Amino acid sequence: MTALAPPPSGEMLKRRPFAMAISKAGAVISITGAIIIWLVILGPLGALAAHVSPASISRSLSLPQALQPLVTSVEASSITLGVLVVVCTPLAWLLARRRLPATRIWETGILLMLLVPPLVLGLLLVLMAGPLTPVGHGLSELHLSASDTFFALVVAESYEAAPYYLLGAQAAFAAVDPAHEDNAALLGDRPTRTFYRVTLPLASPGLANALAVAWARAMGAFGAVLIVAYHPYGLPMQVWTTLEERGLPYALPFALLLIAVALPVPVAAYLWSARARG
Amino acid sequence: MLEVDIEILRRDQTVAANFQVGQGERFALFGPSGAGKTTVLNALAGLVRIHKGTVVLGSTVLSSTRHPRRQVPLRHRHLGLLRQRAGLFPHLSVRQNLRYAGASTKELEELSEQIGIKELLDRSPATLSGGQAQRAALARVLLGPCRALLLDEPFVGLDLSLRTQLAGIVGDIAVARQLPTILVTHELAEAQAFADRIGVIDRGRIVQIDGPSQVVLEPATRRIAELLGYRGFPPEDPKLVGNRRIGVHPARVVTGERVVVGPKDIRAQVRILDSWPSGPGWELLCEYLGEQFSFVAPQRYYAHQQLSVTILDPPRFNLDGNRVESR
């Protein structure tokens, strides 16, 4: 019987180099894959950096009123974010806790907003709130207009960024165990106090991520903005018109500026939330 | 006094409960999974709406579907709920958790000393073991506005010595503070060790309420006996097969000729079918008057062996499954 049994040590010696080769090959493949993916992702950024020189940046940005679109974009995006936080945060909580009737229909609506191409969204906004519509009349009573104004820019950015924030915030709230809220209530907290003491701190990493994505969307909003708020120029519109009127070399510095302003917030939020989650 | 008379509609069944728990009394709700134990507890806590009935704590009506209808919100119910998951707020330290309801430093220090978590106060809940977290959660509940304790299997998942220790602490505090306390569990031994009275709940109904020993020695029906661990129901009288049945509990069968037979005990000749090791002894599967049951014996017996055993004071059931007094 013992003679029939395979010698274990010999077998191990035969298998070990093969297994090691496989694991080495696996490591090489995964590292190479990661490098390729990074190159693909960062390729356009690298190309942008390669084509923009300090001289071209200063030439573009020293044009008269060159920085006004940046100011406009930052202001509009900040207001957009404020509106989203005030309006969409409670809505996201209600959706996450299934406190609204017909939650599925709400979610479908939000998903539709996300899926409609921004350009089409702009057309729909014109149809809904253009100067000749009842909403447009109502707005003009308030001395507002949803067409080619700063207000229109905020509206367009809000429509483009809202679904991203709503879905992110809903996921952030849904990740908070409702048992924590029950415990806080049983310990004597009223619902608003529970929200500020328990729900919000626990959801804040996810909320920060959602807000960062919304910021990037608002800063880069273009499709809907092109239709309803061509003026006042925001940064994406500045990139587009400079490209049309003066060509790529003049537009690239603005593109770099857009990235430089839009990206740090999301990256910082991601790093903070990753740290908060441990 | 906590007075409960409620009916809750669940998707799969209606759960009804009717019982009272006195000040400082420890009451256990025992039953299999899905019987409705946690539903009852959640209804008392106010997490689940009741369909019919009332919950009264002292002189306060917490829930009532009778006129005037009433559903006191969670924050005004003043109930301490402890669940299987300790549920400490993960973004706060243990001390901050304990102070959540606004306890004074003196109260906090005293109670954490009593419960043995004084050295854990500045730790984060994520760094606590299961037992430590449950102790901290207990302290948080007791430092809150707590007029009754609701325990939903809070000791599940802890090792036996820790469970015993924690159950002891909770029980002592319930008595010292005169809190009506309800423990929900699916483990009979835990219910017996903790409670002054046990309510057996099955398929959404409380089917028996009795003291910890009566509930096992005198199950009201054959179904309750099955829930309590009785494993065989052979005929009582070998000559009158099918007349009445006795309940055989694995822990209430003894082997050997030298056992002094009491007036209500039954001497039986059983045939061994199988045996396997169980703890320090052997579990024997045997046959007696056409019924199979198993019990634990100190030594091994083999298949086909005949063995003389004594079934200690078994409950008797008529053919409807209801218990009858022994002759």
Strand-pair partners of B83: B152
pLDDT in tens, B278-304: 888 899 999 998 889 999 888 888 888
Q: Return d(Cα A252, Cα A239) in angstroms, integer.
A: 7
From A177, A186, A190, residue closest to B79, measured CB to CB: A186
Name residues 192-251 of chain A within 8 A of B (Cβ): 197-198, 201-202
pLDDT in tens, B99-155: 998 888 898 999 898 888 999 999 999 999 988 999 999 999 999 889 999 999 988
From A189, A198, A278, residue closest to B75, measured CB to CB: A189
Q: A171: distance to nearest CA of chain B, Å?
A: 18
pLDDT in tens, A121-137: 999 998 998 888 889 88
Q: Do B87 and A177 touch (CB under 8 A)?
A: yes
Please give the share of chain A, as a percent, with pLDDT higher than 90: 49
Q: Do B75 and A183 touch (CB under 8 A)?
A: no
Regarding beta strands B2-9 and B14-21, do their DSSP bridges make them parallel or antiparallel, or are they unpaired?
antiparallel
Could you give the domains of chain A? Answer: 65-277 (1.10.3720.10)
pLDDT in tens, B153-199: 988 878 888 888 888 888 988 999 999 999 999 989 889 989 999 99
Are the C-beta atoms of B38 and B152 separated by less than 8 Å?
A: yes
Contacts of residue B277, Cβ cutoff 8 Å, sequence gap at least 6: B283
First to last CA, chain A: 55
Q: Do A187 and B101 touch (CB under 8 A)?
A: yes
Q: B6: distance to nearest CA of chain A, Å?
A: 20
- Kindly tell me if the per-residue pLDDT of B217 is higher than 50: yes
**pTM to 2 decimals?**
0.81
How many residue pairs from chains A and B have C-beta atoms closer than 8 A? 47
Q: Does A184 touch chain B (CB under 8 A)?
A: yes
Q: What are the E-state strand segments in B239-314? A: 245-246, 253-255, 266-278, 281-288, 291-297, 306-311
Q: Helix crossing, A150-174 with A68-96: angle to 10°?
A: 40
From B75, B83, B89, residue closest to A185, measured CB to CB: B75
Are the C-beta atoms of B198 and B19 separated by less than 8 Å?
A: no
B268 phi, psi to nearest 5 deg: -140, 145
How large is the average pLDDT for residues A96-124? 91
Q: Does A104 touch chain B (CB under 8 A)?
A: no
